[in-house]
Amino acid sequence: MKEKVEAVLSKLRPMLEADGGNVELVEVTKEGIVKVKLTGACGCCPMSQMTLKMGIEQALKKEVPEVKSVEAV
């Protein structure tokens, strides 16, 4: 599942990089929780929680049904 998650994150990275940020995969748990670290401009952006939940989490759940949630660490 980690490879599938990384493939989806690779598709999302250009959008984040366009705004000066990025996302780094930290862990995928057996329970389907994906832990990521938002870096660059995304790390301190006031909209980062919305990016995480409405962007990254939605895309991952759509492409990788085993994903239950996404958390920032």
Dump the DSSP string for the chain: -HHHHHHHHHHHHHHHHHTTEEEEEEEE-TTSEEEEEEEEGGGT-TTHHHIIIIIIIHHHHHH-TT--EEEE-
| CATH code of 25's domain | 3.30.300.130
Tens of pLDDT, residue by residue, the chain (73 residues): 999 999 999 999 999 999 899 999 999 999 999 999 999 998 888 889 999 999 999 999 999 999 999 999 9
The predicted model scores a pTM of 0.91
Looking at residue 15, its pLDDT comes to 92
Range of the domain at 14: 2-72
Q: Are 35 and 2 in contact (CB under 8 A)?
A: no
Number of domains in the chain: 1
pLDDT of residue 64: 96
Tokens at 51, concatenated? 């990016």
With beta carbons less than 8 A apart as the criterion, state whether 5 and 70 touch. Answer: no
pLDDT at 42: 86
pLDDT of the residue at 29: 96
